[in-house]
Amino acid sequence: MAEALLEVKDLVAGYDGTSVLCGVSLEVEAGSIVAVLGANGVGKTTLNKVLSGIVRPQRGEVIFDGQRIDRKSPADIVAAGLVHVPEGRKLFPDLSVRENLELGSYRRGKAERARTMEQVLTVFPRLKERFAQRAGTLSGGEQQMVAIGRGMMGQPRLLILDEPSLGLAPRLVEEMFTLIGRLNEVGLTILLVEQNVMQSLELADAAHVMEHGCLVLSGTGAELAGNSELAKTYLGM
Amino acid sequence: MTSLDILAAAVLNGLMSGAVYALIAVGLTLVYGVLHIINFAHGAILSAAMFAAYLAFQAGVDPYVAMVPLALIFFGLGYGLQRLVIGPASHGDDRNILLITLGLSIVIENLLLAVFNSDTRTVDVAYGFSTLDLGFTFLALPRAAAFGVSCLVAVLLWILLAQTDTGKAIRAVAKEKLGASLAGIDVAHIYAVTFGLGAACLAIAACLLLPTYYVHPRVGNAYVLVAFTIVVLGGMGSIPGAIAGGLFVGVVESLSGLMFGESLGQLGIFVIFILVLLIRPTGLFGAKA
């Protein structure tokens, strides 16, 4: 088995002394799509916040590309190549699309930034039309594109997508999942955190189901898609 | 001299002092807009800056010459204060930051008192009473210089915020701290830069005030009370609001001084302040809640 790009070991984390995560362990292999699924409030976002350095873990380790990152600052983690595209997008509403994207590669040189911008605009040609527009005035789908684009500007090797389909019209949800597949095909490793179970499983190489801060079910996408218990819980079948 | 000339002269003089108010208010509103706290140490830092300019003058350096180096020094001091004291001591809680700046103001003021005691000091510059002849009125040269420099600083600040990477990062952090962190922006650094810019504005204001104003360990407070009014008037965190509000307050003060007598000059400011709070509580340029 190839060495994992991201390795999470027995992670316990929470807020103000209480724990939300109950000792989560998972691995993400380079080049794969790994999904973490679960309902609202089971700890998915807390997991993401630990991975991106916003929340310090109470116990456990996060190893990215052979390096421990669980005590690093968010900016250093981005520089190491792990970028978290947050739930709710968290764009800079008063800044233009262009400025939003540029700030994703704040630490890089101008030439490198221009090159990455070129790539992002190839993936999201629609953003070129909206380039000078304020990000706050875009539609939900377009804002999600800016959020992912801003993440890509950091030249990540691992992209964490937190609820990228949330609040999008059904047709756009379809588009979003197609896009995630395409990003993976061009070489990005993706940790997909979603409530949208079936579509995520279709895409994922491996998947984990989270309940009450613990991973309760793990397997390949196809295995979990065929799991009757999962279908009962999340699809009411 | 006709009464219209007197009125025009009062408006003009109001604009001159309003520009310095605006400069002090810009520093305050910038820190509020980005760190979302009222910097209670703003007045004390202004007092300290005036003493710094005073000491420079005693050492033979004209306040206008000392302006740029002092702005740089106070930028560094402000940066260090936020990075090494306020930031670490606050543990990320806004209420703590508020209290720490309040504590800092007490420490700074008392240090100034201990070192310089409570005498009121003034400097004597050759151009202190020079005037410009505008035909219908005379304009004090130091006040005209204060106006010009304040406008220049406003323009430079606008260029910084609108055009540079650091400026864009400042605007990004102001609106979306979490998003900025996740995009790889070092928020602690941006906070410190913003605090440093606020302190640099005060250093420039101090150099502009020194030729015509007195120095005292608590002198900054009088200005910051007005500056705070301006910040609320213009809309908390709005830089155009602080500039417009500063000029407006300067003119109001000057006109009400003309009508009600010099000692009641600030009466008009607070009457209008109360009216704005009643009619448009978000301030003239403030975003709607």
Q: Say which CATH number the domain at A189 has.
A: 3.40.50.300
Question: Which chain A residues are within 8 Å of B165, Cβ to Cβ?
Answer: 102-103, 106
- Secondary structure (H, E, C), A33-75: EEEEECCCCCCHHHHHHHHCCCCCCCEEEEEECCEECCCCCHH
Domain holding A96, by residue range, is 92-155
Is residue A169 located within the same domain as residue A206?
Answer: yes
- Cα dihedral: B160, B161, B166, B170 (round 10): 150
A23 part of a folded domain = yes
DSSP A31: T
Structure tokens at B234: 């213009």
**Could you say which residues of chain B have pLDDT below 50?**
289
- Mutation for A interface: B182, B185, B285, most A CBs within 10 A: B182
Contact B184 A105 (CB under 8 A): yes
A141 and A163 inside one domain:
no
User: Sorting pLDDT into bands at 50, 70 and 90, what band is A227?
Assistant: confident
Q: CA of A81: which chain B residue's CA is closest?
A: B184
Closest CA to B205 of B48, B78, B84, B94: B48
Structural domain includes residue A86? no
User: Do residues A61 and A172 share a domain?
Assistant: yes
**Alpha-carbon torsion angle A186, A124, A54, B189, nearest 10:** 110
CA distance to partner chain A, nearest, from residue B91 (Å): 13
Q: Residue B39 has what pLDDT? A: 93
Residues of B in contact with A134 (CB under 8 A): none
Per-residue pLDDT for A58 more than 80? yes
Confidence at residue B168, expressed as pLDDT on a 0 to 100 scale: 96
* Cross-chain CB nearest to A93 (options B175, B180, B184): B175
Q: Look at residue A161 and give its three-state secondary structure.
A: strand
- H/E stretch holding A209: strand A206-211
Q: What is the pLDDT averaged over residues A13-39?
A: 93
- Flag whether A70 is in a domain: yes
SS3 A12: strand
Whether residues A182 and A71 share a domain: the answer is yes
Query: 3-state secondary structure string, chain B?
Result: CCHHHHHHHHHHHHHHHHHHHHHHHHHHHHHHHHHCCCCCCHHHHHHHHHHHHHHHHHCCCCHHHHHHHHHHHHHHHHHHHHHHHHHHHHCCCHHHHHHHHHHHHHHHHHHHHHHHCCCCECCCCCCCCCEEECCCCEEEHHHHHHHHHHHHHHHHHHHHHHHCHHHHHHHHHHHCHHHHHHCCCCHHHHHHHHHHHHHHHHHHHHHHHCCCCCECCCHHHHHHHHHHHHHHHHCCCCHHHHHHHHHHHHHHHHHHHHHHCHHHCCHHHHHHHHHHHHHCCCCCCCCCC
Same domain, A166 and A59: yes
**Is A47 a member of any domain?**
yes
Give the model's pLDDT for residue A236: 56
Beta carbons within 10 angstroms of residue B49's beta carbon:
27
Query: In terms of C-beta density within 10 A (0-12 exposed, 13-18 middle, 19 or more buried), how is residue A17 classed?
Result: exposed
- Structural domain ending residue among the three candidates A135, A155, A175: A155
Q: Which chain B residues are within 8 Å of A78, Cβ to Cβ?
A: 182-184
Q: pLDDT band at A1, cuts 50/70/90? A: very low
Rounded to whole angstroms, the Cα distance separating B169 from B190 reads 7
* A160 assigned to some structural domain: yes
Mean of all residue pLDDT scores within chain A: 92
Q: Which of B168, B175, B184 is closest, CB to CB, to A78?
A: B184
| A165-203 confidence digits (pLDDT tens) | 888 888 889 999 999 999 999 889 999 999 888 889 999
What is the pairing mode between strands A189-194 and A206-211?
unpaired
Average pLDDT, chain B: 92
CA dihedral B117, B120, B123, B124 (to 10 degrees): -140
Domain count, chain A: 2
Which pLDDT band holds residue A235 (cuts at 50, 70, 90)? low
Q: What are the backbone dihedrals phi and psi of residue B232, each rounded to the nearest 5 degrees, phi first? A: -70, -40
A124 and A211 share one domain: no
Structure ipTM: 0.91
Interface touch B176/A91, C-beta < 8 Å? yes
Q: Which of B171, B176, B184 sits opposite A104 (nearest CB)?
A: B184
Contacting residues of B for A106, CB less than 8 Å apart: 165, 169, 183-185
Q: Which of A100, A134, A155 is the last residue of a domain?
A: A155
User: Among the three residues A104, A126, A155, which one is the final residue of a domain in this structure?
Assistant: A155
Nearest to A92 among B176, B184, B187 (CB): B176
Q: Do B183 and A93 touch (CB under 8 A)?
A: no
Between chains, do B184 and A52 touch, taking CB under 8 Å as contact? no
Q: Is A31 on the interface with B (CB under 8 A)?
A: no
Cβ of residue B192 closer than 8 Å to a chain A Cβ: no
| Residues A114 and A98 both lie in one domain | yes
Instruction: Answer yes or no: are the C-beta atoms of B196 and B76 closer than 8 Å.
Output: yes
Residue A186 and residue A228 in one domain: yes
pLDDT tens digits, residue range A97-132? 999 999 999 888 889 999 999 999 999 999 999 999
Does residue A169 sit in the same domain as residue A108?
A: no
Tell me which of A46, A49, A90 to substitute to probe the interface with B (most B C-beta atoms closer than 10 Å): A90
- Exposure b/e, A212-225, CB count within 10 A at least 16 = b: ebbbebebebeebb
- A144 and A166 both lie in a single domain: no
Q: Dihedral of the CA atoms B40, B44, B45, B51 (nearest 10)?
A: 170
Asked if the structure places residue A65 within a domain, the reply is yes
Residues A189, A141, single domain; the answer is no
Any domain includes A200: yes
> Given this model, what pLDDT does residue B287 score?
65
Q: SS3 helix, strand, coil % of chain A, rounded to 5? A: 40, 30, 30
Burial of A62 (0-12, 13-18, 19+ CB in 10 A): buried
Strands A67-68 and A59-64: antiparallel
Is A106–B165 a contact, with Cβ atoms under 8 angstroms apart?
yes
Interface with chain B: mutation pick from A103, A110, A163, highest number of B CBs within 10 Å: A103
Q: Are residues A177 and A190 in the same domain?
A: yes
